[in-house]
Structure 1
Amino acid sequence: MDSIGVRRKALDHMTDHADWLRTQVTTLVTDISLARTAEKLSLRMSQRTLRVGWTTVLFFHVFHAVYSALLAYTYHYLSKPEMNYYVRLLRMMPQENYTWVPPLYGCIGAMNFYSALKMACYSLYYRRLVFHKMAAPCIENTTDTGAERTGRAAEEERTTNFNFAKRFAKGLAQAVSARGEWFDVVLLMREMAEIVSQTAQAYFCSFLISSVWVNQVFSGLIFLNAIINTLVHFTLEDKVGLRRLYCSAVDLALDFAWGFIIPCQIVVVYVSMFVANEQGFPESFYYSDTLFIKAILECNQFFMVSWLDAITTTLPYLDMLSGLESVKFLIQQDMKVTPTSSSVKVQPIGPSATFASAGPLASAIIKRESESRERQSEDNQSAWGKRITKSIQVLMPLWGLVVLVTSITASGVFFGGEDTCAMGCKLRMHPWFAHQCACSVMEINCYERGIAGREDETRGLLKSLDARVLNSLIISHCPALVVTEEIRRFGSLMSLELYNSTVVEWPSSASLSLPYVPSLVTVFIVRSRFGDGLPEGLTTDLAPNIVDIEFAASDLGGPLPDDLDEKWSSVLMLYIEYCGLQEFPRALARMEATDLSLVGNNISAIPEDLALAGTWMYLMVDRNPLETIPENFGELADLYFLTIQHSNITLLPQWLAKLQGEEGATNLRAFDTPYCRSLAVDSQEAELARCDKASLGDGIFPLAMKDELRAIGE
């Protein structure tokens, strides 16, 4: 009996809780369905203030429409197949994910354009500045009989589920609108979400943007957003309409700076460079120590690189559109339409105009009812709800202050201690909470540091670097370099270069493999030496993201491995220039590379029986003592560019001679060859072989530029 009583008591307790919860939900739904307009919303705007506000809103709509259209076109352009190389190069979101981006920004631009057009057209119609169609005042029908009114009331009471849902949706829309009772709660939640989103963006910005002022502006905007909104809430607590208007206006201004001004300052540099170089970038851009890395990082800040980034990038534009609608709604509802005999007149009103339109007794009754509703609305808000709201409004400026102080501290401008990476850092970063050398592009120059590059020296230097921000590592002038496993710490490393260094040891424990170097794309070996062939660290489990390996004027320590095609199966661009190769490595023919350059070696013949992978698009064998081109090269259906300049070739193979002049034929460069010297200067064959001038005859890799950059100072 005791156990049955306990279970019955527990069941009754659960039933009571369920009834209480059902009552609370029903009350909430009913309150939403019967949502009223908030009190004290009158703005009492003068005509001059209205003109300024109207012009400002129109400017934001037009600018937003144009900017969104440009973004839509930009992402549409980036989705083209010919732009896939640059999309991957700049590490942006894959092209297949761009299908929804242009329509999204197109819709945002269309909505802004429609709003601007509606403002202009209705202003011309009413002969006064308005934002949209003015609603005529409701006139009570005094001819209705009592029976008719009673019948309509009875019919309205018979509410179906559909009508209830419709009334709930209408009430919810009214409650969260700029003039609704719940707008302050919605605005506070929106501000909190916005500050959290902006804080996340500012944090990632500290890893992507090297400019101190840009990082400080981002954190400063967060602080201003928090402090100004809180000040507005406290100073205009009783003036509901002005408080909502100022909060919305502040959000608009900050979103404009966050979403338009700063990104434009960043991206316009690269867009102008891309256009000026006929939809491409100059060679100096790709091989610069800092320009290319900086472009990747800054474009990652501006363009979408992930789904999370897509949300945080789009949020300011949607928030600005919502803010514009709130501002217009607040100002427009402060106006009324009064029909006249010949036209429609628009004039500003306030609460006093409502009371003045009735008699003295009616005015007093209306005023008392309004005050009663206001007191009832305030009483409905629980004390704990008010305390939470006040607490959030107090904490928001503190949050903004913490973000600002954190960013200033990271910049080292005012609270900078000892500079941990003054030597060799070419692109300094300012990430939050950094305790090591925060450098994006670091050159470890053994000559300047007075070291040889031995194991303990290399290990200590690599440990001193902040692994979160290192994107490019250059090791130069090291006579006894040992590459240690600390190189695997750098998950953000995109480029690795060895210059004028002798690699004594590079074991497999320090190999460039996954999951350690997921971002590494390029490896440059320039004027360096390997003792016994390619080291294990460069050939063991090479990460598939490494697609570009370039050797220039280096001693490879012997022939290339016969299974190099298996070890470097993901490499698409392989340049081995001025490296003293004596024969054409067979493994290269089996590699699925698209670009192969063997310029400046000592290759006198290419075997006729090579097993070709058939993926070559660019093949450069200039400055080799070649005498013939194999006939089986005709099987390379995708071969677009072939250079044989400064070689000993006297005749072209039949497949190449037949293709000359045809559409889709291989582009041939044969300057300074016996073949060109045997042709008449003005012959068609000489023109097709570009016999009159050299083209990339000294190789792809800019060796002279690197020598100038890496020169040892006196």
Structure 2
Amino acid sequence: MRPPAMRPRKAIQNRVQAEDSVLHHETLPRVVVGLYWVGFLALHVVCFVFFAATSWCYWNLPDTDLDFWLTYYSLGLGTQSDPTIAIVHGFLAGLHGLYILWMLLWSLKKRRLVFAVYNVFKPPSRLASFGNKRHSVVSLKNSVRHLYIAVFARDGCLGVDGPNFDLILLYREIVETALQTYQAYRMSVLLPRAALNRGYVALLVLNCWSTALVHSSFKSNATKRRLVALICDCVLDLVSSVGVSTALMLIYAKDFDFHTNSFPLLKWYEDVWFVHAVSEFRMLLVTSWSDLAMRVVFAVSMLLSMNNMKKLMCAKPSKQHSGVNASRRVKAVAPLNVGPVNSTLVSSSRNTRSHAAKGVVAKLPELLFLSWGLAVLALHLHAGSVPSPPQCVMQVKPWGSSQPSCSLLVLDCHQSEIVGSADEVAAPWSAFNPTTVVHVVVRHCPELQLPPKLTEFSQLDTLKLYNSTIVSWEDSAALTQSHHPKLTTVYLVRVNMTDGALPIGLQADDFPQALVDIEFCVTNLRSLPDDLELKWPQHASIYLEACQLVEVPASLVRLAPYDLSLSLNPISTLPAELFEQGTVASFSASGTLISQLPETVMEISSSLHRVTLDDTNVSLFWSWIDPTVDPAAAAASPMLNAANTPYCRNLQRVFEGEHNSFSFVPPASDHDGEISLLLNAPVVNWGILKRAISCDDDIPATLYPIESEDQNNVL
């Protein structure tokens, strides 16, 4: 017989051995434990790959072509925030990476399947053994361990078998469900793809209803009840933080050019692809700090759910320990009972009315989530029942809207068998909510009259007119800052205007200041107003290609566009002021009638980095252009493009040894004895010539992709 003093110690040892048996997963068949282990490892790997890839993309995004387009269309938080977003996603990837390494390395070392930290470092005893300590003073290390046990052990106050776990889970579900409902609403506003919206709403509704379903199905088994509830939460967190973004990335991956780290230029001009991208990139990219915080909440919540599931899968649901732990488990039977629960020590004379009241209180959270799920489902079904007008090529289904919401509006006069009068245009434009229109395309209209209804499109981002004749575009339908504050792009392609003059609707004094991309291609435009620089925003991209301009309008020069193309216009001379503007960075005069650049430029713009003169009669260059062809600066890419010009033909003969000098050299009196580096033919100068000028015919005649546009809008 052992001494009485040894009995408590033996009892503790027996309990430790029992816990060790649980920690070694002896309560479940090895095959089941193996499947659990593989499943958790696979989930960690998926999350690690996603967050690591996202971090890498954000870290390398700055200074890429894609970054230019995202900044141009105000998609995302901006380049300055990309490193921070990358670090946050890298931290999340690191957490999953640590779990992966822990599971793999310790499983190899222990020669058994290890799930988490508690499988390796087991606490010396559970909370019930604290009273058996004989020493009055404990070390700081033991104090920390005891605190961890009291709080995070399986039966601690925050543990999966603890008295507060169901209450904590309830609060978590309320917060997460609110955030997930907001995400579902954002998806209904931004994503026109019905399959993604339906799938996410279905998961959200099932997650709401699982609270009541799980409680009724596993009423007598707290472990299974909590396990199923955690699985439901984990699945929805996975879809929220990883699933939706992954689905969108897979959709756009086939169009992405990994050599240029961007999408092909033509894609940004395709109406359907562009509207999809602008809308869906707002779901794919981090658009605000609150959006980033919400993504972190989903990711961390998923990790917590996975960790708790691992603990629950190691529990013994068929057995319960006596004493303090047993009483705690009794307290946790009802998962949503937020009030105090009866224990075996409570008097049996408790008023039955109090019992009934507590039962009703315990059911309130279940009714809350059941009603929540019904409300989400009702909103989704109502939004899906809204009709789709035929002119709405792309329609979103925002919750709570009784009118159709049209992101991409396409009016095809040929298809609709109309000529484009104001009444004919206004009628179909009245069949939906005008404040939801983002992109408008009007095509094949022989007598187009733009109606005042256009001013109601307050969210308009892009307006495109194709293959139409504008008969009337009056001030009542003008583009203005007050009516179109978000308008950034206007395209007029194969459009005829009355007398070749700019329509009144494009000359408002209150012109949209966000409109930084104005492109005309194949039009009869002959002139521009003299006060245009007072109306249109400066430093914009302006393409007036294949029009009928015979000279460069003075107002256009004063407008100082950042990117200017006058290709295929019958222009024979260029003003010197065009190259002296401090903001002009890129200029194209391809296909014009010019034979030389201005002879004198007082001070060339320091921002000028590209001049395109393909298919012109340019045969020589003046010395004022030499500062832009400095050998060091020209090494990155040629500053001048002059394919199919007399100059390039002459240059080719020099390179081939047929000539030892340029045929076209200005008289000494014209250049004060100083000739340009670009007319210096000795071999020692060939390196500069090759770096400064490109004679490759690889640039299209117009920067606007007219051929692609014709294919997309063929009759």
The TM-score range, normalised by the shorter chain, is 0.7 to 0.9
Following TM superposition, by how much is the alpha carbon of 1:313 offset from its aligned partner in structure 2, in angstroms? 3.4
1:686 positional shift:
7.6
Deviation of the 1:624 alpha carbon: 0.9
Number of the residue aligned with 2:195: 213
Partner of 1:600: 568
1:112 to 93, 96, 99: 96
Give the residue type in structure 2 aligned to 1:438: S
Secondary structure class of the residue paired with 2:470: strand
For the residues of structure 2 that align with 1:312 and 1:659, how far apart are their CA atoms? 49
Residue 607 of structure 2 corresponds to 638
Partner Cα separation in structure 2 for residue 386 and residue 570 of structure 1:
69
Shift of 1:651: 0.9
* CA shift in 2, pair 1:127/1:491, >3 Å: same
The answer on 1:567 being equivalent to 2:551 is no
Amino acid corresponding to residue 587 of structure 1 in structure 2: S
CA contact (8 A) 1:548 1:571 kept: no
Distance in 2 (alpha carbons) for counterparts of 1:636 and 1:644? 17
CA distance in 1, matches of 2:310, 2:189: 38
Change (3 A) 1:81 1:693: closer
Instruction: Kindly indicate whether residue 31 of structure 2 is the aligned counterpart of residue 64 of structure 1.
Output: no
Q: Give the 3-state SS of the residue equivalent to 1:379 in structure 2.
A: coil
User: How much identity, in percent, do the aligned residues show?
Assistant: 26
Q: For residues 67-86 of structure 1, what are the structure 2 equivalents within 5 Å?
A: 67-80=50-63, 83-86=66-69
Structure 2: runs of 5+ lacking an equivalent:
1-22, 334-338, 347-353, 656-685
Change (3 A) 1:386 1:626: farther
Instruction: State the secondary structure of the residue aligned to 1:224.
Output: helix
1:379 matches 2:382: no
| Matching residue's letter, 1:47 | R
What does 1:186-335 correspond to in 2, within 5 Å?
186-276=168-258, 278-332=260-314, 334=315
Q: How far, CA to CA, are the matches of 1:66 and 1:211 in structure 2?
A: 25
Aligned partner of 1:555 among 501, 510, 524:
524
Is it true that 1:88 corresponds to 2:64 in the alignment? no
Aligned 1:406-485 pairs, distance under 5 A: 406-412=379-385, 420-422=388-390, 424-485=391-452
> Match for 2:80: what amino acid?
E
Distance 1:138 1:293, change over 3 A: closer
Q: Call closer, same or farther: CA 1:178–1:681 in 2, change over 3 Å.
A: farther
Distance in 2 (CA, whole Å) between partners of 1:265 and 1:567 is 43
- The alpha-carbon deviation at position 548 of structure 1 amounts to 0.5
Going from structure 1 to structure 2, the CA distance change for 1:404 and 1:681 (only over 3 Å counts) comes to: farther
1:512 is displaced (CA, Å) by 2.6
Residue in structure 2 matching 1:677, options 649, 656, 680:
649
1:339 maps to what in 2? none
Aligned match of 1:656: 625
In structure 2, how many angstroms separate the alpha carbons of the residues matched to 1:248 and 1:577? 61
Tell me the distance in 2 between the aligned counterparts of 1:291 and 1:661.
Answer: 41
Contact residue 623 and residue 697 of structure 1 kept, 8 A: no
User: Once the two structures are superposed, what CA deviation does each residue of 1:278-306 show, in whole Å capped at 9, x if it has no partner?
Assistant: 22322321211211221121211111122
1:628 is aligned to 596
Identify the match of residue 705 of structure 2 among 693, 696, 702: 702
Cα contact 1:671–1:690 (8 A) shared by 2: no
Aligned residue identity for 1:668: L
Deviations 1:608-664 (A, max 9, x none): 355833222221101111122124286122222211112122211213357547122
Q: 1:394 aligns with which of 347, 362, 367?
A: 367
Q: Does 1:48 align with 2:31?
A: yes
SS in 2 for 1:176: coil
Q: In the superposition, relative to structure 1, how do residues 463 and 385 fare at CA in structure 2: closer, same or farther (>3 Å)?
A: farther
SS at match of 1:175: coil
For the residue of structure 1 that corresponds to 2:652, the secondary structure is coil
After TM superposition, give the deviation of residue 252 of structure 1 in Å: 1.7
Specify the SS of the correspondent of 1:500: strand
Cα deviation, residue 392, structure 1: 2.5
**C-alpha separation in 2, matches of 1:368 and 1:448:** 75
Quickly say closer, same or farther: Cα 1:73–1:224, change in 2 above 3 A: same
Structure 1 residue 499 corresponds to structure 2 residue 472: no
* 2:596 matches 1:647: no
Deviations 1:345-394 (A, max 9, x none): xxx79746x56xxxxxxxxx789977998899622898666534422223
Q: Which amino acid aligns with 2:260?
A: E
Unaligned runs of 5+ in 1: 1-40, 157-162, 335-347, 356-364
Partner Cα separation in structure 1 for residue 88 and residue 203 of structure 2: 26
Q: Equivalent residue for 1:14? A: none
C-alpha separation in 2, matches of 1:574 and 1:553: 14
Alignment match, 2:669: none
Structure 1: distance between partners of 2:252 and 2:532: 37
The DSSP-based 3-state class of the residue aligned with 1:48 is helix
Q: How far apart, CA to CA, are the structure 2 residues paired with 1:374 and 1:76?
A: 46
Q: Check the 8 A contact 1:87/1:93 in 2, yes or no.
A: no
Query: 1:488, 1:516 within 8 Å by CA — same for their partners in 2?
Result: yes
* Structure 1 residues 142-189: Cα deviation after superposition (integer angstroms, max 9, x where no partner): 9x9x9x95x93xx89xxxxxx99x979965994333232121122122
| TM-score, normalised relative to structure 1 | 0.79
Number of residue pairs matched by the alignment = 629
Cα distance in structure 2, aligned partners of 1:477 and 1:585: 29
1:81, distance to aligned residue in structure 2 (A): 6.9
Q: Which residue of 2 aligns with 1:404?
A: 377
Residue pair 1:421, 1:438 contacting (<8 A) in 2 also: no
Q: Deviations over 1:577-616 (max 9, x none)?
A: 0111011122233334221100011111112355833222
Counterparts in 2 of 1:388 and 1:377: CA distance versus 1, 3 Å:
closer
Question: What CA distance in whole angstroms lies between the structure 2 residues aligned with 1:681 and 1:524?
Answer: 41
| 1:399 alignment partner AA | W
CA–CA separation in structure 1 for the residues paired with 2:189 and 2:126: 62
Give the SS at the match of 1:664. Answer: helix
Q: Which amino acid in structure 2 is aligned with residue 635 of structure 1? A: I
Q: Is the 8 A contact 2:272 2:408 kept in 1?
A: yes
The separation in 2 between residues aligned to 1:507 and 1:169, in whole angstroms, is: 76
When normalised by structure 2's length, the TM-score is 0.78
Aligned residues of 1:668 and 1:688 also touching (Cα < 8 A): no
Q: What letter corresponds to residue 457 of structure 2 in structure 1?
A: F
Give the deviation of 1:48 after TM superposition: 3.2
> 2:383, 2:402 within 8 Å by CA — same for their partners in 1?
no
CA distance 1:454–1:125, change in 2 (3 Å)? same
Contact 2:331 2:342 in 1 (8 A): no
Q: Does the residue aligned with 2:651 lie in a helix, a strand or coil?
A: coil
- Measured after TM superposition, the shift of residue 701 of structure 1 is 1.0
CA RMSD of aligned residues (A): 3.8
| Structure 1 residues 254 and 168: CA distance shift in structure 2, 3 A | closer
Distance 1:109 1:323 in 2: 17
Does the aligned pair in 1 maintain the 2:631–2:692 contact within 8 Å?
Answer: no
Q: Distance in 2 between matches of 1:565 and 1:525?
A: 20
Instruction: Check 1:390–1:520 CA distance in 2 against 1; reply closer, same or farther (3 A cut).
Output: same
